Amino acid sequence: MSNKQVRQLVETLEHDIHSATSSEQILAAVGKIKAFRKPLVYKHSKHFLAALVSLSIAIFIFVGSHNQISFLAAYSQGNGLFFLGIGCLLLCAFIVSLVLKNKHQISKVAKLAYQKDAMLDNNLKFKAPFNSEEMRIRFSELNRGNHSRTFKEVVAGEYQGDEHQFTFEYYHFHYVDKRTVVTMRGKRMRTKTVYDKYDRYGIIIPFGFYQNLQIFSFKIGQQYQHSLSSGSIAFDKIFKVKASDELAGTKFLKPAVVVAILDMSAFLSKMNIEIDGTGLMCLSFNDSNMIMGNQRYDLSNPDAFYDELAGHTKLRLLERTLRFVHQLLKHSDSNFKETV
Amino acid sequence: MSTSGIIIMGILVIVVIAIVSIYNGIVSRKNAVERAWAGVISQERQKNNVLPELEKVVSEHKEFEAGILSDITRLRSKLGELSERKIDTQGLGEIESLMGKVQSGISVTMEAYPELKTAGLMNNLMREISEQEENVGAAIRIFNQNVEAFNEGIEVFPNNMVNGMLNKQARILVFSDTQSSEKFDYKPNL
């Protein structure tokens, strides 16, 4: 397969995956690559040879001319050989970047196929980003970043547990802190504006049973007056609990809930739980891989990649997190609402 | 005051601060253990809210074995014996074992007579019992974790010295499920 054919195939595949609305369509698109019975890779032997030749020329020129004349002198004298050497170096860098770009293009399209298939397998759908201002007011967790805050991605899904069914929205939140740094250069004072960029991830769930509660291991603005202790030394070492109603907060922190949160914190780093005044829960963390799955193959092995896509892609961290939310719901509801 | 005098004073102050902080640490971990035990008792006592209803349902349906009713009665009396002030892991073990017996007796009957499952109250009772048992299990886990932290806090150096001289606290036994462990041949060499 020529490089031109590979490029065309990759572009067609990318287009097909973007327009796919079912796992079958993604499989059909990858199936076209599989039909070639060859790995989808660019041939770079000529590129490597050209890069090697141009690098050798550059080294020859610089090492050779260094014996006779210094670089600065060669540059100031407009020495033609010097510029040829620079040209060869630039050519070498260009070829290497082209090779890397081609490799990246193929892995990017495989990643796209895998991600879209994972989303379709798990009934997840992209939706419009939240209004960051509204969310900032609802949750202290999302009141971060003094310069800007945006939702890069919002994905909606549903969970069906033994006792509760609920909808959820997974989000990727990006925020920027702006600060001024003062440095001294000699006797001169210089100020520089620095932008620190951060990402947080989370799940929004209509919880309903409790309101105005914060359980956090990663610092957030504390909204409620009552500090609660769980009774567990291990839990209290990691989490702080704040609630507007002490009794309701204590009721929420049943032993099974405390243990479930403690266990979940082993899987989610810097985990926070916040329930707003309307009973909406925001479970936030630092892990970026919740809806990514665990991709093992790509288009360099089309058969294995096809088989990987053909199976149901399990998003284990998402499943575990939703089971955890279900556990919280189960221990917050009443089992005798209708009967007793 | 001479330099060496200041150094000695400084060292003494640091030692006193360390002793006070170790002493307070032991006290607060002991309190955490007692609080966790109270949590276990409070979760166990939640059973009192369900057992009368369960007793009623079991006595109304002749499908259940008579032994279940007597186990429930024994369970209620054992629950009354539990005290928040005295850490009694053996008494707790007996209650957990009795509860397990009641639960398995009810489950066996419900499997044999599926029509019992359709009774809404029975289903809700079983769900409530299962959640309560989960909470008891979690409360026991928290208690055991706190006990471990406490025991470690009185045994490591130099805490053992402070404890020996000032706190004078003894190791607390963790709760172990004897019924479950009896099923294993393996016993850790502790």
Helix orientation angle between A23-35 and A80-121, rounded to the nearest 10 degrees: 130
Residues A147 and A267 in one domain: yes
On whether both A204 and A82 belong to a single domain, the answer is no
What residue numbers bound the domain in which A152 lies?
A: 125-339
Under 8 Å between Cβ of A306 and A34? yes
pLDDT at position B113 is 75
Q: Which of A174-188, A196-210, B115-129, B175-189 shows the highest mean pLDDT?
A: A196-210
**Is domain B11-166 given the CATH code 1.20.1440 in the classification?**
yes
ipTM: 0.79
Nearest to B134 among A256, A335, A338 (CB): A256
pLDDT category, B188, cuts 50, 70, 90?
low
Inspect the interface and report whether the beta carbons of A255 and B29 lie closer than 8 Å: no
Q: Read out DSSP for A189-253?
A: EEEEEEEEEEEEEEEEEE--S--SEEEESS------SEEE--S-HHHHHH-EEEESSHHHHHHH-
For residue A262, the chain B residue with the least C-alpha distance is B142
Minimal CA separation from A336 to chain B, in Å: 6
Q: Is the domain of A73 the same as that of A204?
A: no
CB contact under 8 A, A232 and B131: no
* Closest Cβ–Cβ partner in A232, A255, A336 for B135: A255
Q: Are residues A332 and A219 in the same domain?
A: yes
Shared-domain flag, residues A291 and A157: yes
pLDDT, tens digit, 9 for 90 and up, residues B134-168: 899 899 999 999 999 999 999 999 999 999 999 89
- If you average pLDDT over residues A145-153, what whole number do you get? 95
By the 8 A CB rule, do A114 and A309 touch? Answer: yes
Q: Based on the fold, state whether residues A289 and A256 are members of the same structural domain.
A: yes
- Can you give the pLDDT at residue A340? 33
pLDDT band for A102, please (50, 70, 90 cuts): confident
pLDDT value, residue A197 = 97
Are A10 and A56 contained in the same domain?
yes
Q: What secondary structure does DSSP assign to A238-282, as a single string?
A: H-EEEESSHHHHHHH--HHHHHHHHHHTTTSTT-EEEE-TTSEEE
Which residue among A69, A86, A121 closes a domain? A121
Q: What's the predicted TM-score (pTM) here?
A: 0.81
Considering the domain architecture, whether residues A192 and A335 belong to the same structural domain is answered as yes
pLDDT band at A75 (very low <50, low <70, confident <90, very high): low
Number of domains in chain A: 2
Q: How far apart are CA A60 and CA A135, in angstroms?
A: 61
Both A86 and A141 in one domain: the answer is: no
| CA closest to A335 among chain B residues | B124
Q: Which residues face A173 on adjacent strands?
A: A151, A200
CB pairs A-B closer than 8 Å: 60
Cis preceding linkage at B52, omega within 30:
no
Best mutation target, B131, B143, B150, to test chain A (most A CBs within 10 A): B131
Q: Do A339 and B39 touch (CB under 8 A)?
A: no
Q: Give me the mean pLDDT over the A303-317 stretch.
A: 92
Looking at the predicted structure, is the pLDDT value of residue A153 above 80? Answer: yes
Over the stretch B76-97, which tens digit does the pLDDT of each residue have? 888 888 887 788 888 888 888 8
Same domain for A113 and A154, yes or no, is no
Are A289 and A235 in contact by the 8 Å Cβ rule? The answer is: no
Residue of B40, B46, B133, B134 for testing the chain A interface, max A β-carbons within 10 Å: B134
Mean pLDDT for the stretch of residues A203-216: 94
Instruction: For residues A49 and A146, state if they share a domain.
Output: no
Contact criterion met (CB < 8 Å) for A163 and B127? yes
pLDDT at B75: 86
Confidence of residue B49 (pLDDT cuts 50, 70, 90): confident
- Taking CA–CA distances from B31, the nearest residue in chain A reads A231
Boundary (domain end) residue, out of A89, A121, A153: A121
Q: Which stretches within chain A are classed as H helix?
A: 3-19, 23-35, 45-68, 71-76, 80-121, 132-138, 233-238, 246-252, 255-264, 302-310, 316-330
Same domain, A144 and A77: no
Contact A234 B145 (CB under 8 A): yes
pLDDT tens digits, A228-249: 999 999 999 999 999 999 999 9
Out of A121, A148, A169, a domain closes at A121
